[in-house]
Amino acid sequence: EEQNIRIDRNQAFIVTPINKSKSSNSNKDYNEQMERQEVGESIMWDDTPSNASKRAGGIFAFVHNDKHVEICHIQDVCSPENRLPSWTDNVGHGHRNVLILSDIKARIKWDDWIKHGGHKKVQGTTQVRSNKNRLIDYIESIIEK
């Protein structure tokens, strides 16, 4: 069932940091999404504050700063009404679109992420703008193997 990922370079490349603290919202939400993935449900996450993702095809990365980065494919962009009930604690995120993500397609070691131009520290959900194509080239090279 594994479909080949077609990365649309015209779409946003979104990165979100996952806090190391087990009690943080991002860590709780991330673990909830990993549980969803395990039972065959879609992984979902907020878009950026400006709703940068316009349609499917972009890249989404869970960034564990100084550790590793997990890459997903954006499969759909849904309205804020599709937010999970468990996300109500994330005050101020209610206007954000919901990204439907693929399972994790690749895990990149931190050193490789940095070497290929990835953000040195991600704070808040944002877009990759600098080195975007260089990073996508690298992601495509490891996903296609």
pLDDT, tens digit (0-9, with 9 covering 90-100), for 95-115: 999 999 999 999 999 999 999
Please give the model's pTM, rounded to 2 decimal places.
0.93
pLDDT at 6: 81
Buried b or exposed e, range 68-83, using 16+ CB within 10 angstroms? ebbbbbbbebeeeeeb
- Which of 38-42, 68-72, 87-91, 120-124 is predicted least confidently? 87-91
For residue 126, the cross-strand partners are: 15
Mean pLDDT (the chain, rounded): 92
98 vs 141: CA distance, rounded Å: 28
Confidence of residue 88 (pLDDT cuts 50, 70, 90): low
